[in-house]
Amino acid sequence: MKENTEVLKTLGDSILEYIKRKPAVPGAIAVTVVIAIIIGIAGGPAQVVNAIVAGGMWALLATGLTMILGVMNVPNFFHGESFMVGAYTAYFIFTPIHLYLMDNPNKFLSTIAPFAGFFAAAVIGFILGSILEKLVFYPLRSKTKERWVMNSFLLTVGVSYILSNGVNLVLGPNFRGIPRYWDVPPIKFFTIRLTVDRLFAFFLAMVVLLLLWYFMGKTRTGRAIRAVSQDEAGAAMVGININNIHTLTFSLGTSMAAIAGAALLFMFQAYPTVGLRPLYYAWYVVMLVGLGNVSAAVVGGFIVAFLQTATQQFFGIEWGEVVPTVVMMIVLIVAPSGIFGSEVKGIQEQ
Amino acid sequence: MIKSTGKASTIARTLMSRTGFSSSGIILIAILAVLPFIPPFNSEYILRWLVVGAFMAAQAVAFDLTAGFINVVNFGFAAILGVGAYTSAILANTGPHIIVQPGISPWIGIFIGAFASAFLGFILGFLTLRLRGLYAAIMAWFVGIALLGLARTLTPLTRGSLGMSPPSFFDTPSNMPYYYLALGMMITIYIVTKLVTTSHIGLAFKALGQNFDAARASGINPTFYRVFNFTLSCFFAGLLGGFYAHYFVSMTPKAIMHTSKSVETLAIAFIGGRGFLWGGIVVAFPFVFLLEYLRSALPQLPGIHIIIYGVLMILVMIYYPNGVAGFITELKKKLWRLRKPEKT
Amino acid sequence: MRKSKLVTFALVLSLLLPFSVMAGGKQEKEGAGAAETAEKVFTLGILGPFSGPSARTGKEFRSSATMAFEAIDWKIGEYTIKPVWIDSQSDPAKATQAYEQAVVQDGIQAGILNWHSSVAVACMEITAKYKVPHFFGFGATEVVNEKFHSNPDKYGYWMYKGWPTPKKLSVNYVQALEDAIEEGLWNPGEKTFAIYGEDTDWGRSFGKGIKEQLEKAGWRMVAEDYFPIEQTEFYPLLNKLKGINPALIAGTSTAPPSFSSFIKQADEVGLESLIVADGLGWVGEWYKLTGTSSNYVIDQIPGWATEAGKEFAQKFKDQFGIDPSPSSGGLSYDGTRFFIAVARKAIEEYGELSSESIYNFVKNFVWEGKWSFKDGIVMSEYAATPETVPDPVVGKGYYIFPVLQYFDGEGKIIYPPEWAVQKLQVPSK
Amino acid sequence: MLKVENVDSGYDFLQVLWGINIEINRGEFVALIGPNGAGKTTTLRTISGLLKPKGGRIFFKDELISNLPPYEITHSGLSYVSEDLNLFVNMPVYENLLMGAYIIKDEKKIKQTMEYIYELFPRLAERKKQLAGTLSGGERKMLAIARGMMSNPEMLLVDEPSLGLAPYLVRNVFDALKTLHGEGLTILLVEQNVNATLDITDRAYIIEQGKIVLSGKSKDLARNEHVQNVYLGI
């Protein structure tokens, strides 16, 4: 009994300590909760659930982005194109299976068919990430480290252009979409209706994030990634092959964006410029919570989702980009390194 | 007599060097000035490419003032250019589809537009004041997205994505007057930029760009220089925006204010060589020609020119961060070294 | 260092090379052009959204125009038709640049087709500037008509729209709904409605038109939202609408990804309102995107009225591998053939095929109602009168879209009554 | 064991080292001494692979290592404790140690080494779960040395462990190094605290302006006139 109170007390102390160190954090969370309540009153609980489901996806996207940023100091502009590649991959894997199933119904196969798409997207995203890292960022890194952040940023801009226009060239500008992954009636819950697709997209995001958390915290390689992000020279000194870790990180980040693209295919569809909005969202999150702060990106995903839902509820859908951007600008002015604090070294360079 | 010509040439040379023109620069300008009379450049469609070339070159110079000197990549450049374009276009409007019909001449509107852009640049300078490198770039990007969103949303003024058709500068289908207008703007912007950057202000820019803290410690007031830089660069952007509005006479927020437009300018400025100013000019013309040629020669490969943009940009960034201008400068130095022994 | 210098050198070379190649190449082309004039070439611009959010429609345009010209072996009289494909990218500014380039660079003598109204409005400036007659340019909204009438001598080069103003068609929805209420098929309770639509001339014009007509019939508007053309996430908007719960929501979009997402997500959030989705069926494969969520949705779409139409649809599918929709593939096929017929008549009348002869024929004959195209596969007759110009004549026997309701991907006509195969059905709540 | 042959090294355009020769045998405790900016840290960074030599060769256990990336040099049994420590500040102490053992895959062995390290540095055992960034200066030095030891190296390069430490902490650190040497570890120590260094090391090299100017037994050097004048202030 006594032990319990003591544990509680230390917990309380550490929370207080944290709040003292970063007063913006509880403020941001409090504001989000207030927004959530207002949305709930004005738009009903379904609107809140919407925001939560969307938040899961932005969290997944932003985590990939912030990981690449934290470990490699590469501010990735083609994260949206990774999303696009994932969407296309899922489409091309899922559609033939789907067509086959239309003629030969098979309950088991139709339950697992979407997974083939997700898995393929993850793998293709991973491969794409490693190829690009070796082809573009490795040469730059071995050339010069001067102005690294800015130069690598511009490289990702170039890659983004090549990818989206390359896909346009090869596959054409056509939209490729699916009606839905699982053709079952939506789940009803009070006034809330959620399709299995959306629910699963959220679920998938959470599982991937959980796996990532485990991987980063508990495995040797995951620890090596964190070590590289904290001190590159130190990591080299303990015998970590930094180049491999960079490639791995990049591939993981890209793969996560691709998974998001695959999971949201039913909503976004696949076309060459589909990645633009996801890219905006991911950057909103990352700038909001602080560059390279992986765990905070998850929280940030939900904050941004609530902000967007509130914008659409109260301002109208055409203000969807303006209001969140202005909020981000204010955040940047007030807290340049994000509300949770940046964890990136070297980003302060000129 | 000999003495006085010597003096005159010295004065000419100082003037040239002050305004940043070497003899090859003068030759280049002269060639550009007579180009519209030489076949095949005298046909209307090639003239059109030349106009676009001069327009892009001028943009690259204005962009380089921020990117190459104080080292902040202005991702909202196109959006600010768009503000100039929209201001001038709205002021010139006489049609019923926009709620105001001031009907002001484009020749006046273009300057009001430029001042509107300059004002935004002024604000952007303050917004990014405390931010370094990447943060400043992203702030500018967000400002750009917000401006684009506003231009889309304020449909009573801008007609949003429905597009606007502002009046043109000249009442002729010929591109000739536009070419000389664009060329004049390009040269003016270059001279002003060069004068500023070769003065002590330019030194302060460079110092701030290389090491913000050290520059501040040595007594350079970052507020003034940064805000001044942004204001000037955005003023030029607004001016060019006005040109866009009354030359292309059709605009939508997406077609001028999108981030991809900033990136196009960036690509030209950086392939040209950042911090050189003239690099963008040297690159812009062949670039526009290459891209337009590809677009018309390979219509079955849409967007191939943008892919080439991307690949060139990546190659230059990795293997030759000083761009074409840096390459030419180094080549010149080498030639100089080769020539020297002959002289002595 | 050495390697990097080589790379740059190659870069500079590659930059300069096309300069010279182009200068040489273009001259050659000009020479060839001079030789070709002896064979009489007519350069025709074909405008369409070949890339961008409406690329699916663009593909149908391109395919059907190709089919129409292949059928006559690209020859009208002694003229060989040289097509120049002008990509509007669904953006008026990009479209005008492309159009102007086609005029000055490729020297197009006339233009046909187009999809978006905003593109039409912007391109009217170019056709006026260069006096290029443009034919069957869709772009339905009033803004086009207003601009046309503001200065017919100048903007009259945008000669014939091929699609009447949305008001003229949307009135059918209101009529169909009012009829259903009168017959007791539908009891909406309070007559409330919400307007949605893509943020373009088209979307806003449709919204404005049907809003006025509904209000005239005693309905009350409770919400109005226009979204960017590339929007695909509608959950917050639809949830908001669900909260308001109007009896009817009506709107339109020309971008299939956006529209299908809207319909799909409306079903997902459980929106109970009856949905008018004008233009959902305008691309052949809409059902592949929406699935059963399109059940009960009301749309207006021309059918394959004639045997020739059905034949065309089959041939189209065989040749291009996609299902044409009557409203884009079909209408653009008709529009192209309308142009061919006009061109033949112009040669007959004036002895040559040129910008002027086409302009004069349309102005003197088509606009005056003296000549019309009766060989269409979608509509029975494409005509005009001095009152309707630049719109086609609307009504039975002329240009008409029946109102239909979707069930499992199939549209059942519910209006006009003489064509109706079934009555309006309302989902049981 | 370590042989540095005519090595030139430096940063981009600035050459710091000019023809450095160092030879260290197994089990030796050697010091590298010199004034600020003489090139001590540069020497260690070059040996550990963080800097590529511009000329000359480096052998470790008779194998050429000067063309290897730093992580492979670590794998070959050479461990480097840098001046700025390069700790993973957002990781707790035990994770830092685990990272030190990155090249060892045998979990059991890691555990053994860790226990041994905790014995050697009881302070670290107390602060196991504390973030490295929150440790005091002395604790950080110890953690850095401990992390360097976790890979069971055959040779340790230590850069200025006494810098910025209170005297009694310096003694702690030196004691720890002495203990490690006592157990058979080869150590190359860079120090400015010349007196104490010459006291505990076997041999020493004196480096000035990027060149080795003197070398020999530590005891002899302590009596050398030049060393006394310049470094010992006698």
Q: Please write the tens of the pLDDT for every residue from D137-156.
A: 888 888 998 999 898 899 99
Q: Is A92 exposed, middle or buried (0-12, 13-18, 19+ CB in 10 A)?
A: middle
**pLDDT confidence of residue A18:** 65
Q: Please write the tens of the pLDDT for every residue from D84-131.
A: 888 998 888 999 999 999 998 888 999 999 998 898 888 889 888 888
Q: What is the ipTM of this complex?
A: 0.82
Query: Rounded mean pLDDT of C392-406?
Result: 86
Compute the distance between CA of residue D15 and CA of residue D18 in angstroms, rounded to an integer: 8
Query: Rounded mean pLDDT of A16-43?
Result: 75
Query: Rounded mean pLDDT of C5-10?
Result: 50
In chain B, residues 148-177 whose CB comes closer than 8 Å to chain C:
152, 155, 160-163, 165, 173, 175
Residue B91 vs residues A142, A302, B157: alpha-carbon distances, Å: 52, 42, 10
CB distance C362 to C159 below 8 Å: yes
C64, C145: one domain: yes
**pLDDT confidence of residue A12:** 76
Q: Look at B270-284, C26-40, C214-228 and tell me which has the smallest mean pLDDT.
A: C26-40
Residue A244 vs residues A110, A138, A161, A250, C121: alpha-carbon distances, Å: 38, 10, 26, 10, 56
Confidence class of residue D60 from pLDDT cuts 50, 70 and 90?
A: very high
CB atoms within 10 A of CB C190: 10
Residues 6+ apart with CB under 8 A from B78: B144, B256, B257, B258, B259, B260, B261, B262, B265
Residue B270 inside a domain? The answer is no
Q: Domain count of chain C?
A: 2
Structure tokens at B286: 């062949």
Compute the distance between CA of residue B193 and CA of residue B275 in angstroms, rounded to an integer: 11
Compute the distance between CA of residue B52 and CA of residue B289 in angstroms, rounded to an integer: 9
Buried b / exposed e over B281-319, threshold 16 CB at 10 Å, is bbbbbbbbbbbbbbbbeeeeebbbbbbbbbebbbbbbbb
Which of A233, A238, A241 is facing D99, going by the closest CB pair?
A238
Q: Look at A112-121, A220-229, B54-63, C144-153 and tell me which has the smallest mean pLDDT.
A: C144-153
Residue C100 vs residues B46, B249, C106: alpha-carbon distances, Å: 13, 11, 10
Q: Is C180 exposed, middle or buried (0-12, 13-18, 19+ CB in 10 A)?
A: buried
Q: What share of chain C is helix, strand, coil (3-state, %, to 5)?
A: 50, 15, 35
Residue C329 inside a domain? The answer is yes
C215, C358: one domain: no
The answer to whether A180 contacts C199, with C-beta atoms less than 8 Å apart, is: no
Bond into B40 cis (ω within 30): yes
Residue B247 inside a domain? The answer is yes
Residues 6+ apart with CB under 8 A from B321: A144, A147, A151
Which of B145, B211, B266 is facing A350, going by the closest CB pair?
B211
Structure tokens at C307: 């045997």
**pLDDT confidence of residue A252:** 95
Residue C142 inside a domain? The answer is yes
Q: Please write the tens of the pLDDT for every residue from B49-95.
A: 889 999 999 999 999 999 888 888 889 999 999 999 999 999 998 87
Is pLDDT at A307 greater than 60 in this prediction? yes
Strand order in the sheet with C75-76: C75-76, C79-87, C41-48, C110-112, C134-135, C158-160
Q: To the nearest whole angstrom, how far is the Cα of A330 from the nearest Cα of chain B?
A: 9
| CA dihedral angle for residue B299, residue B305, residue B311, residue B317, rounded to 10 degrees | 180
Asked if the C-beta of A193 comes within 8 angstroms of chain C's C-beta atoms, the answer is yes
Compute the distance between CA of residue C75 and CA of residue A223 in angstroms, rounded to an integer: 71
Residues 6+ apart with CB under 8 A from A32: A302, A303, A306
Query: Rounded mean pLDDT of D160-164?
Result: 82
Percent of chain C past pLDDT 70, that is, above it, reads 90
Residue C124 vs residues A277, B91, B205, C108, C318: alpha-carbon distances, Å: 32, 22, 47, 15, 36
Q: Please write the tens of the pLDDT for every residue from C281-335.
A: 877 678 888 888 889 999 988 877 678 888 898 999 998 888 888 888 899 999 9
Is pLDDT at A93 greater than 90 in this prediction? yes
* CA B4 distance to own-chain centroid: 39
Residue C304 vs residues C280, C284, C328, C397, C402: alpha-carbon distances, Å: 17, 13, 12, 14, 11
Domain with B188 in it = 38-264
The answer to whether B307 contacts A287, with C-beta atoms less than 8 Å apart, is: no
Q: Is C295 exposed, middle or buried (0-12, 13-18, 19+ CB in 10 A)?
A: middle
At CA D154, angle to CA D149 and CA D160, rounded to 5? 55
Residue C21 inside a domain? The answer is no
The answer to whether B248 contacts C7, with C-beta atoms less than 8 Å apart, is: no
C67, C132: one domain: yes
C221, C255: one domain: yes
Which of C7, C26, C201 is facing B162, going by the closest CB pair?
C201
**pLDDT confidence of residue C27:** 41
Compute the distance between CA of residue C227 and CA of residue C251 in angstroms, rounded to an integer: 11
Look at the alpha carbons of A9, A13, A15, A19 in this order and tell me if their dihedral is positive or negative: positive
Residue C427 inside a domain? The answer is no
Q: To the nearest whole angstrom, how far is the Cα of B338 from the nearest Cα of chain C?
A: 18
Residues 6+ apart with CB under 8 A from A61: A79, A83, A256, A257, A260, A278, A281, A282, A285, A301
Taking alpha carbons only, the member of D28, D35, D86 closest to residue D193 is: D35
Percent of chain A past pLDDT 70, that is, above it, reads 93
Question: Reduced to 3 states, what is the DSSP secondary structure of residue C222?
Answer: strand
Compute the distance between CA of residue D75 and CA of residue D132 in angstroms, rounded to an integer: 24
Compute the distance between CA of residue D141 and CA of residue D165 in angstroms, rounded to an integer: 9
Residue C64 inside a domain? The answer is yes
Is pLDDT at B160 greater than 50 in this prediction? yes
C280, C341: one domain: no
**pLDDT confidence of residue A64:** 92
The answer to whether A159 contacts B71, with C-beta atoms less than 8 Å apart, is: no
At CA C78, angle to CA C75 and CA C83, rounded to 5? 40
| Average pLDDT taken over every residue of chain C | 84
Q: Is A283 exposed, middle or buried (0-12, 13-18, 19+ CB in 10 A)?
A: buried
Confidence class of residue C28 from pLDDT cuts 50, 70 and 90?
A: very low
pLDDT top residue among A12 and A99 = A99
Confidence class of residue C36 from pLDDT cuts 50, 70 and 90?
A: very low
Q: Which residues of C touch A (CB under 8 A)?
A: 50-53, 55-56, 59, 199, 225-228, 230-237, 239-240, 242-243, 256-257, 260-261, 264-265, 268-270, 288-293
CB distance C173 to C151 below 8 Å: no
Determine which of C50, C85, C235, C264 to mutate to test the interface with A (most A C-beta atoms within 10 Å).
C235
Size of interface A-D (CB pairs under 8 A): 70
C233, C270: one domain: yes
Which of chain B's residues have a Cβ under 8 Å away from the Cβ of C22? Answer: 289, 293
- Extract the runs of DSSP E, i.e. beta strands, from C283-347: 298-300
| One-letter amino acid of C43 | T
Output the domain CATH number for residue C222.
3.40.50.2300
| One-letter amino acid of C124 | M
Helices (H), C232-294: 235-244, 256-269, 286-290
**pLDDT confidence of residue C32:** 41
Residue A239 vs residues A242, D35, D153: alpha-carbon distances, Å: 9, 30, 11
Run of H or E residues at D10:
strand D2-11
pLDDT top residue among A143 and B237 = B237
Which of B134, B301, B318 is facing A75, going by the closest CB pair?
B134
Query: Rounded mean pLDDT of C365-391?
Result: 88
Asked if the C-beta of B74 comes within 8 angstroms of chain A's C-beta atoms, the answer is no
Query: Rounded mean pLDDT of C249-270?
Result: 89
Is pLDDT at C16 greater than 60 in this prediction? no
Asked if the C-beta of C96 comes within 8 angstroms of chain B's C-beta atoms, the answer is yes
Which of D69, D89, D102 is facing A238, going by the closest CB pair?
D102
| Greatest pairwise CA separation for chain B in angstroms | 74
Taking alpha carbons only, the member of B18, B22, B40, B39 closest to residue B30 is: B22
Question: Is C in contact with D (3 or more beta carbon pairs below 8 Å)?
Answer: no
Which of chain D's residues have a Cβ under 8 Å away from the Cβ of A343? Answer: 90
Confidence class of residue C211 from pLDDT cuts 50, 70 and 90?
A: very high
Is pLDDT at C1 greater than 60 in this prediction? no
| One-letter amino acid of C90 | S
The answer to whether A224 contacts D103, with C-beta atoms less than 8 Å apart, is: no
Bond into B341 cis (ω within 30): no
Determine which of B265, B266, B318, B322 to mutate to test the interface with A (most A C-beta atoms within 10 Å).
B318
Residue B31 inside a domain? The answer is no
Residue B205 vs residues B210, B225, C13: alpha-carbon distances, Å: 9, 7, 33
Token pair 């020539």: residue: B339
Structure tokens at A284: 């909103």
Look at the alpha carbons of A236, A241, A247, A253 in this order and tell me if their dihedral is positive or negative: negative
C326, C295: one domain: no
Q: Domain count of chain B?
A: 1
Confidence class of residue A20 from pLDDT cuts 50, 70 and 90?
A: low
Q: Which chains does C contact via 3+ CB–CB distances below 8 A?
A: A, B
Compute the distance between CA of residue C212 and CA of residue C218 in angstroms, rounded to an integer: 10
Q: Look at A50-64, A259-273, C33-47, D144-158 and tell me which has the smallest mean pLDDT.
A: C33-47
Confidence class of residue B6 from pLDDT cuts 50, 70 and 90?
A: low
Domain with C181 in it = 167-304+401-415
C149, C177: one domain: no
Q: Look at A271-280, C14-23, C123-132, C304-313 and tell me which has the smallest mean pLDDT.
A: C14-23
DSSP class of residue A176?
Answer: B
Q: Please write the tens of the pLDDT for every residue from C129-162.
A: 889 999 898 888 888 888 888 888 888 999 998 8
At CA C129, angle to CA C124 and CA C135, rounded to 5? 40
Asked if the C-beta of A237 comes within 8 angstroms of chain D's C-beta atoms, the answer is yes
Q: Is A49 exposed, middle or buried (0-12, 13-18, 19+ CB in 10 A)?
A: buried
**pLDDT confidence of residue A23:** 63
Percent of chain B past pLDDT 70, that is, above it, reads 92
Asked if the C-beta of B266 comes within 8 angstroms of chain A's C-beta atoms, the answer is yes
**pLDDT confidence of residue B185:** 93
Q: Please write the tens of the pLDDT for every residue from B294-311.
A: 776 776 677 787 788 788
Which of chain B's residues have a Cβ under 8 Å away from the Cβ of C122? Answer: 163, 165, 250
Taking alpha carbons only, the member of C277, C128, C255 closest to residue C199 is: C255
